[in-house]
Amino acid sequence: MATESTLKLMIFPPSPWSEKARWALDVAGLGYQLIEHVPMVSNLRARQLAGNFNPLRKFSLPIAACGAQVMDDSYSIASYAADHNKNANVDLFPQDKLTEIQYWNDLSNRMMNILRKRALPAMKTNQTLLESNLPPLVPEALRPHLTSVSKMAISYIDRKYPLSEEDTEQVVIEGFETLRKALNQADGDYLLGEFSYADIAMAVTLQPVKPVADKYIPLDSGTRECWTDDMLIEQFPDLIEWRDRIYQHHRSA
């Protein structure tokens, strides 16, 4: 049974941001009570966990709480994982590499914001995705007739995360080219010489380009289709292969 000191983690399972936090906690060997968020349906529970009851103040996932300590973004959750690390074989946040890790995390977030925005129009029209994103209690026979609920949730996300004028698709191209250059200069597959949160952040950034295998992040076929970008896959096949190796070596199925 969960106690007050149990780490509680609320995620939206398909979200790359949720994956960054969960991966860090898993690598650190930390246990947690997993709570899966259903857009719009479990918003109140998310606000309760975050201690955010101001309707004018946005909340974002993932959210983690342990006693009175609340973390409401993937980076702070990953930092918590590093501070409470039980895995002596891994240091996700080496003290002499913190500036570099922050750089890669910021780049990851900026790129994923753009990739998410670009995928939303297709998500609004994909019948499989719309039905799959309905709450689990909705009967199968009613799902085709209630997709407007999913469309509302997607439109809510669209409004919630606007892009600045500087955040264009060229940022994504330049970001992946920067990653490619850094990996070519690295000694092996790790951006900082050894596996760190920088590798997690950038590996997850490729999720909206070509989703990783279902054994790591299960997705419905509609989401997988909307998140598959043939142009970027053709342009950066080496990065997809790198991402798959990072998952194979450092992510439990």
pLDDT in tens, 145-197: 999 988 988 888 888 888 887 778 899 999 999 999 999 999 889 999 999 99
Domain presence at residue 1: no
Considering the domain architecture, whether residues 224 and 246 belong to the same structural domain is answered as yes
Query: Is the domain of 101 the same as that of 181?
Result: yes
Q: Answer yes or no: do 174 and 238 share one domain.
A: yes
Q: Rounded to whole angstroms, how far apart are CA atoms 15 and 140?
A: 24
Locus of tokens 């240091």 = 91
Q: Helix or strand or coil: residue 10?
A: strand
Q: Are residues 108 and 225 in the same domain?
A: yes
Distance CA 161, CA 60 (A): 10
Which residue, 50, 83, 116, sits at the end of a domain?
83
Per the structure, the count of domains in the chain is 2
pLDDT exceeds cutoff 50 at 224: yes
Taking residues 49-75, what's their average pLDDT? 84
Does residue 193 come out as left (phi exceeding 0), alpha (psi in the -120 to 50 range) or beta? left
pTM over 0.85: yes
pLDDT tens for each residue of 90-113:
999 999 999 999 999 999 999 999
> Residue 52 — pLDDT band, cuts 50, 70, 90?
confident
Q: Residue 209, Cβ neighbours under 10 Å: how many? A: 23
Helix axes 74-83, 16-27, angle to 10 degrees: 0
Question: What is the spatial distance between Cα 112 and Cα 207, in angstroms, rounded to a whole number?
Answer: 9
DSSP assignment letter at 207: T
Lowest-confidence region among 58-72, 88-102, 157-171, 236-250: 157-171
24: enclosing H helix or E strand: helix 16-27
Domain that holds residue 179: 95-250
Residue 88 resides in a domain: no
What does the pLDDT read at residue 56?
Answer: 61
Burial 223-246 (b: 16+ CB within 10 A, else e): bbebbebeebeeebeebeebbbeb
Band (3; pLDDT cuts 50, 70, 90): very low
Is 2 among the domain residues? no
The pair of structure tokens assigned to 199 is: 């590798």
The secondary structure of residue 96, as a DSSP letter, is: G
Query: CA–CA separation, 85 vs 106, rounded Å?
Result: 23
Looking at residue 55, what is its pLDDT? 65
The alpha carbon of 81 is separated from its chain's Cα centroid by a whole number of angstroms, namely 16
Res 119 pLDDT > 90: yes
The tokens for 10 are 């609320």
Q: Tell me what the mean pLDDT of segment 67-82 comes to.
A: 94
What is the spatial distance between Cα 198 and Cα 107, in angstroms, rounded to a whole number?
A: 10
Q: Which two tokens stand for residue 69?
A: 């300590």
Residue 26: CATH number of its domain: 3.40.30.10
Query: 44, 61, 83 — which closes off a domain?
Result: 83
Query: Would you say 81 and 92 are in contact if contact means Cβ atoms under 8 Å apart?
Result: yes
Of 83, 117, 146, which one is at a domain's C-terminal end? Answer: 83
Average pLDDT of span 13-31: 96
Higher pLDDT, 87 or 46: 87
d(CA 115, CA 227): 9
Residues 115 and 214 in one domain: yes
Both tokens of 35, joined, read: 């709570």
- Give the model confidence (pLDDT) of 122-152 as tens digits: 999 999 999 988 888 889 999 999 999 889 8
pLDDT-derived band at 2, boundaries 50, 70, 90: very low
Count Cβ atoms within 10 A of the Cβ of residue 193 and give its class: 0-12 exposed, 13-18 middle, 19 or more buried. Answer: exposed
Query: What is the percent of the chain where pLDDT is above 70?
Result: 95
Looking at the chain, which runs of residues are DSSP E strands?
8-11, 33-36, 63-66, 69-71
Same domain, 156 and 208: yes
Q: Is 161 helix (H, G, I), strand (E, B) or coil?
A: coil
Mean pLDDT of the chain, nearest integer: 91
pLDDT score of 40: 67
pLDDT of residue 4: 44
Residue type, 163: L
